[in-house]
Amino acid sequence: MKRKIGTAMVVGAGISGIRAALDLAEIGYGVTLIDREPHMGGILTQLDYQFPTDRCGMCKMLPLVDRDASSQYCLRKGLFHENIEILLSTEITSVEGEPGHFQIKLRQKPFWIVPELCIGCGLCTEVCPVEVPDEFNAGLGSRKAVYLPVPHAIPNPYVIDMAACTRCGACEERCPTGAIQLSREERKNFRILVVDDELIVRDSLKEWLEDEGFSADMAASGPEALDQLSKETYHLMLLDIKMTGMDGVEVLKQAKAASPDLCVVMMTAYATVETAVEAMKIGALDYLIKPFDPDAMIPMVTKIYENIQTSQTREVEVGAVIFAGGTAYFDPSEGKNPFGYRVYSNVVTSLEFERIMSGTGPCQGQLVRPKDGKPIRKAAWIQCVGSRSLQTDADFCSNICCMYAIKECLVAKEKTKGELDTTIFYMDMRTFGKSFQRYRDKAETEHGVCFERARVHSVIGDEATGDIILHYMDHNGELHDETFDMVILAVGQRPAAGTAELSEMLEIPLNPWGFVQTEAFSLTKTSREGILVGGAFSGLRDISESVTQASAAALSASRVIHAAGGSVTPESASDSPYRDVYREVPDILVVICTCGDRFSEYLDIGELEWQIRTDPAVSRVEFVEQTCTAQGWESLVELVEKHKPNRVLIGACLPYVYARKLRELGERTGLDPSLMEVADMGYLKLDIKNSEPEAQIQFPVSSFQFPLEMGIAKLKRAEPSPVPKIPVYQRAMVVGGGIAGMSAALAIADHGFEVDLVEQTKELGGNLLWLQRTLEGESVRPLLEDVREKVEKHPMVQVHTGTQVIASYGQVGCFYTTVEDEEGAARTLEHGVTILATGGTEAATNAYDYGSNPSVVTQKELEIKLSDKTIDPGELSSVVMIQCVDCREEPRNYCSRVCCASALKHALYLREQHPDIAIYVLYRDIMSYGFTETYFTQARKAGVIFIQYEVAEKPEIVSSGESVQVKAFDPIIGRKVEIEADLVVLATGIVPTLPKPLAAAFGACVDQDGFFQEAESKWRPVDALREGIFACGIAHSPRTVTESVATAEAAAQRSLRILSHKEVPAGKVVAKVRQSLCSLCERCIEACPYGARFLDEEAGAVTVNPVMCQGCGSCATVCPNCASVLEGFPMQQMLDVIDAALQ
Amino acid sequence: MNQPAYQKKDPLEPVQEMVQACIQCGTCTSSCPNEFAMDITPRHMWRMVLMGRKKDIFQSKTFDLCSACYYCTLRCPRGLPLTEAMGRLKQIAARENLPKYKTSVRFYKSFMESVRRHGRVREMEFMTLYFASMKDPILPLKFTPLGIQLMSKRKVSIQIPSKGEGTLDAVFRKVEELEK
């Protein structure tokens, strides 16, 4: 792939960071992806199962076109992409500059273990004497100071936790490859000057510092210190404030004047802390309060040492920065701790429970209590711990907890084969997302999860058994005591650690709850242009929303880079960088890493070479010392350059590490990396390491020979033809001219590609034409006018109003779509991608006397009537709002997400206009998710009365002329209430307006409710399964204006991946059809999950679109004639490999 | 029910304001140690308050039974001053002299009167005041066995009720002012 001129930085390598980075990299920008942790993946490294599939599936986020540019294995294990540079253990220290040209300073913590040399043998952990709680298992287990941050990462080098490490050096001695380099000697070069007028302080400090390996000099007074500073170079000065003669502050001033880079830490008595703080303003780094012990001082000195001496600092210039720093989780032991967390061992957080369920967790996936090993057979989840709680300063709903609690119930039930009893104690079950409601219903009816609408008051531990007794009142007012094996607290979200400091550094505001504040109608833009946020960093998102929003952030970043001159011009224009070896016979160069010459001790190298050479395809066998080091790699490159083989086989450990290196080798030598192979010999090396050092064992040559011969067999039959490509017609079509459609069209057009915007009505605007304002109080009119004007004036956007799509034909890269205007004139438009933004509308109803009684209106009508003043709030005395009319029950069993917010908006507005109106909201579960919760609190405070009802006992309505009487059962007071109302407002929810034939014309599917069926709700939320078709806005799922804009931006971003290339390469592994054998049975067409196969009727042949094909091989397995084959895995090659393995 | 949720000058108004953010989760009820004796639960009570059902509220013993343990206030996820709200209901009942709460209000008032006079309670005086206020000749007889028992163990002694100088007059005056 060609690199664009333009770079971006993504901060945080969790799910949103990865999504944003991949999106930008796929367009062709260079991306620097950093994370402060020593591993990638964020919270998802700890979560094995995700709703709604109850599995993972993260790999579906990997590139679908030009697949070979990135890694193609489990994304939880790791990622590489040729346009992404990943820096771990790295933090951002400053951001300067302007959009398009930010100068960013980074600081990377030292690793102490050379990642390339670490073979993951784990001998270091065996000898490490330090044990600390394991954060990967949420503190449920323990680990050593040298450890694997994530057990499943690839490559997976050990790291040292310097905060815990005692620098005993045992691991350094034990390491068989010399990867651990504690470099204690280097500490000697770190010179510290201690300035204090008390001898005892000087002496003890000297002793402590020298114990840690630092060099320390002493000075008894200010002038003496200045004198020493002028003679020698020091890195750090520990300076007392109160000294006779010259005081510390004066010394600091003079020292800083002489050497501005000197780090100074003030030592102060408690009484003079203020002076120390003042000193920090004139250049001191920090202060220590006397008296202090080594435990307080040494970590500070070590940190300073690591920061200035061993950290690598870097400066990067990028066009835009996306912050995807994720989120933290509420710690229930904070504050009053009513649930006894950390008091009783069997009260755990949801994250701890995820680890208990996990196979890599402390219980190896057995559902037992970590403390006493008792099987968990009865468990309770308590919702809203640290959410919806004013007591913990959380007037918000965390969005994720309801669904993950249900998921945990289902996964745990599956693990125990249904033996587990699960109860969820909740206040409102917030199933507001697409497919959430059905998932919940299924959990209740099919899997027997018990949902108890109650807030648990007391959590009491039974000391004898360790069981937990919950004391609660059910919805009918009955009190219960129930005993559980384990209680799981569904903890809510909190701003990620360091968010406040970051906002200060970047000068971007935070919202009242400490999350990053975004601009109105955007989920990604901060107040500073070019600084964007993705994922849960701006608060309260689940995976699906995070991924959508990360794509939207990538789009905004791309816009900034594009506007600042980062263009679509490719840096390198050469189309095929690789040598054509199609007509050459295989000529294999075998390079074997001798791993620091240790091989020759155990192995007859000559014999091995002779054995390998017996294959005529092998022209040379070479031995190189440590291909993992830069030096070893250079000699390997030289060998390839010298002998110019057309296949290369490397025998080394950790083949995954080589993916990136092979691409680099390909670029340098002109050999296609798909003609290179790494044979894994790592496990053999492990055998050597594990054996007794003195024992003279000889390994049979054959044990080394087999993996190499398998590699040779694979290379011999490797297909040298270039990767297929398809041309792209660089123009997009957006169907639907609402806010989502317009936003998507603008986003694409702003990147310099033409867009056809097709709208069936005469006017652009969709639902914004009647919508007045949002719950947050933003007026939508200016947004509509602004966007509409931009769209209409944009030279790259062709607006077709009053036009309908009649038919479409084609696939990604080239669609031919026929549209018809009002006069019936048809035209055919050509485009490379399609975005469906056909929107939705309020559902019609005839429930609750709607239509026959004029006092019964819908929420939409109320909004319109309030704005055109046909309803005067002053004339109303009592209003009843009924939520979930005809929805959240079959056949429309989904939450429309906006109705509760509308009800709150109107209730608050009516109360504000006329404080004496009595307002009653009849609801099932109030879906005031996220920060909307605060408006629910406000509505309560404003005196709106909320009455919960059950589907089985819906409210009734009795019309009598103008007035209406609503009867409903109030479960709190346990009896029916009758409300005289002069206005009844129905929330009927949203139905999509995506005609099935329209979706089918483009090859997209609709779900059972008529919404666009996405490829994967979490990992590919705006894509159709067929490449090249995307959806956004309400056509996708019910959404607010802001959320619709975010999906539109995400869809635009996904389109730009394809549009920004004239030709899109497929992957090396694609299916093809041997036409001579094909009997046109079409079984493969049905089997293809990506819709990449179709019957070309003109040619009478089944054809494969190579870009849409993902190389899964389903077609090859169903084909009765072996006509369908997978290139990259031909049968003969596979059989040869098996033969080599079994000989 | 078609009345506005609250009207001006309604004595319930300050109580309504206290519990307005209530989401009826029921934590208060499950926490209440006296709930078993109450006719309606605290959660139910707040609902009545919000709906302005004065008649129902002041038919109930619930707030009268609140022992001000503050358990509900401690745990309420909305952070509402529930114990204080119960206290307010007691005050309304006392101020409006509702017959249902006659006994407890008079008991309380007699107690406080004794405290006002002497800075502490004098049991005999307190009970005398209580019997006098109840104007029920049979009532003292009901307490006689208990009284004799207490006296025999010298838990209470006979003292002549006296107006005294009202040691805590200033405090009581201030409280009255504040409560206005």
Partner-chain contact A471 B30, CB within 8 Å: yes
Residues of A in contact with B21 (CB under 8 A): 390, 937, 940-941
Q: Single out the residue of A671, A728, A679 nearest to residue A704, CA to CA.
A: A679
Q: Which of B25, B35, B51 sits opposite A945 (nearest CB)?
A: B51
Report the distance separating Cα A311 and Cα A186, nearest Å: 13
Q: Which of A391, A458, A973 sits opposite B31 (nearest CB)?
A: A458
Q: Which of B16, B24, B27 sits opposite A457 (nearest CB)?
A: B27
Which of residues 50 through 89 in chain B touch A, CB cutoff 8 A? 50-51, 74-79
Q: What confidence score (pLDDT) does residue A346 get?
A: 93
Partner-chain contact B4 A917, CB within 8 Å: yes
Whether the complex's predicted ipTM is more than 0.85 is answered with no
Q: Which of B21, B31, B41 sits opposite A941 (nearest CB)?
A: B21
- Other CB atoms closer than 10 Å to residue A199's CB: what's the count? 10
DSSP A392: G
Q: What confidence score (pLDDT) does residue A238 get?
A: 87
Chain A to chain B, count of Cβ pairs less than 8 Å apart? Answer: 102
Q: How distant is the Cα of B127 from the closest Cα of chain A, in angstroms?
A: 37
Partner-chain contact A945 B5, CB within 8 Å: yes
Residue with tokens 């509900």: B72
Contact A93, A107 (CB under 8 A): yes
- φ, ψ for residue A1030, nearest 5 deg: -135, 160
Q: How distant is the Cα of B16 from the closest Cα of chain A, in angstroms?
A: 8
Partner-chain contact A427 B25, CB within 8 Å: yes
Helix (H) or strand (E) holding A263: strand A263-268
Partner-chain contact A972 B47, CB within 8 Å: yes
Contact A993, A838 (CB under 8 A): yes
Cis check: omega of the bond before A52, within 30 degrees of 0: yes
Q: Which amino acid is at A839?
A: G
Residues of B in contact with A473 (CB under 8 A): 26, 29-30, 41, 43
Which of residues 16 through 55 in chain B touch A, CB cutoff 8 A? 16, 20-27, 29-31, 35, 40-41, 43-44, 47-48, 50-51
> CA geometry: angle at A563 spanning A557 and A568, to 5°?
85
**A940, A956, A978: which to substitute to probe chain B, counting the most B Cβ within 10 Å?**
A940
Residues of A in contact with B30 (CB under 8 A): 454-458, 471-473, 479
Residues of B in contact with A876 (CB under 8 A): none
Q: Could you give the domains of chain A?
A: 7-109+317-326+496-563 (3.50.50.60), 110-181 (3.30.70), 185-309 (3.40.50.2300), 329-491 (3.50.50.60), 588-623+632-716 (3.40.50), 727-839+993-1064 (3.50.50.60), 842-991 (3.50.50.60), 1069-1142 (3.30.70.20)
Q: How distant is the Cα of A388 from the closest Cα of chain B, in angstroms?
A: 7
**A336, A337, A382, A391: which to substitute to probe chain B, counting the most B Cβ within 10 Å?**
A391
- Other CB atoms closer than 10 Å to residue B167's CB: what's the count? 14
Q: What confidence score (pLDDT) does residue A310 get?
A: 63
Partner-chain contact A389 B24, CB within 8 Å: no
Length of chain A measured in residues: 1143
Q: What confidence score (pLDDT) does residue A334 get?
A: 84
- φ, ψ for residue A482, nearest 5 deg: -135, 140
pLDDT of B136 higher than 70? yes
Lowest mean pLDDT among A4-8, A892-896, B12-16, B160-164: B160-164
A363 Cβ contact partners less than 8 Å away, ≥ 6 residues apart: A356, A370
Q: What confidence score (pLDDT) does residue A212 get?
A: 79
Q: What confidence score (pLDDT) does residue A902 get?
A: 94
Partner-chain contact A454 B31, CB within 8 Å: no
Q: What confidence score (pLDDT) does residue A567 get?
A: 55
Partner-chain contact A972 B24, CB within 8 Å: yes
Q: Could you give the domains of chain B?
A: 13-96 (1.10.1060.10), 101-179 (no CATH)
Q: How distant is the Cα of A405 from the closest Cα of chain B, in angstroms?
A: 19
Q: Which of A389, A471, A970 sits opposite B77 (nearest CB)?
A: A389
- φ, ψ for residue A597, nearest 5 deg: 65, 10
Residues of B in contact with A973 (CB under 8 A): 40, 44, 47-48, 51
Residues of B in contact with A390 (CB under 8 A): 21, 77-79
Partner-chain contact A477 B26, CB within 8 Å: yes
Q: What confidence score (pLDDT) does residue A119 get?
A: 77
* Residue A1057: C-alpha distances to residues A555, A725, A1028 (Å): 10, 15, 10
Both tokens of B7, joined, read: 């009207």
Partner-chain contact B30 A878, CB within 8 Å: no
- What is the SS3 assignment for A75? coil
Q: Single out the residue of A683, A684, A711 nearest to residue A698, CA to CA.
A: A684
Q: Which of A336, A477, A981 sits opposite B44 (nearest CB)?
A: A477
A803 Cβ contact partners less than 8 Å away, ≥ 6 residues apart: A758, A759, A760, A819, A820, A821, A822
Pairing of strands A797-800, A754-758: parallel
Q: How distant is the Cα of A894 from the closest Cα of chain B, in angstroms?
A: 24
B28 to chain A: nearest residue by CA?
Answer: A457
- Other CB atoms closer than 10 Å to residue A67's CB: what's the count? 21
Which of residues 112 through 171 in chain B touch A, CB cutoff 8 A? none
Residue with tokens 């500070």: A300
Q: Which of A384, A878, A970 sits opposite B2 (nearest CB)?
A: A878
Residues of A in contact with B5 (CB under 8 A): 918, 943, 945
Both tokens of A239, joined, read: 């300076």
- 3-state SS string over A1094-1134? EEECCCCEEEECCCCCCCCCHHHHHCCCCCEEECCCCHHHH
Q: How distant is the Cα of B103 from the closest Cα of chain A, in angstroms?
A: 27
Both tokens of B67, joined, read: 């022992």
Residues of A in contact with B40 (CB under 8 A): 973
A391 burial (CB, 10 Å; 0-12 / 13-18 / 19+) is middle
Partner-chain contact A455 B35, CB within 8 Å: no
Q: Single out the residue of A399, A410, A1128, A408 nearest to residue A722, CA to CA.
A: A1128
Rg (CA), chain A: 33
Both tokens of A1067, joined, read: 């992957």
Partner-chain contact A455 B25, CB within 8 Å: yes
Partner-chain contact A384 B77, CB within 8 Å: yes
Decide if B8 touches A, using CB distance below 8 A: no
Q: Single out the residue of B93, B164, B154 nearest to residue B126, CA to CA.
A: B164
Partner-chain contact B30 A455, CB within 8 Å: yes
Residues of A in contact with B35 (CB under 8 A): 479
Contact A924, A426 (CB under 8 A): no
Partner-chain contact A972 B44, CB within 8 Å: yes
Q: How distant is the Cα of B70 from the closest Cα of chain A, in angstroms?
A: 13
A459 to chain B: nearest residue by CA?
Answer: B31
Q: What confidence score (pLDDT) does residue B2 get?
A: 45
Residues of A in contact with B76 (CB under 8 A): 391
Q: How distant is the Cα of A457 from the closest Cα of chain B, in angstroms?
A: 5
Q: What confidence score (pLDDT) does residue B37 get?
A: 92
Contact A733, A835 (CB under 8 A): yes
Q: How distant is the Cα of A971 from the closest Cα of chain B, in angstroms?
A: 9
Ordered mean pLDDT values, 10 residues apiece, chain A (1143 residues): 72 93 91 91 89 86 86 86 90 90 88 81 88 87 89 83 82 83 74 86 85 84 85 85 83 83 83 79 82 78 75 86 93 88 93 91 88 92 92 90 94 92 94 92 94 90 91 86 94 92 91 91 92 89 92 93 68 62 88 75 79 88 82 88 90 80 86 87 60 57 82 87 86 94 95 94 93 91 95 94 91 91 91 94 91 91 93 91 92 93 95 92 94 93 92 90 87 89 93 90 90 91 91 94 94 92 86 91 90 88 90 91 88 90 83
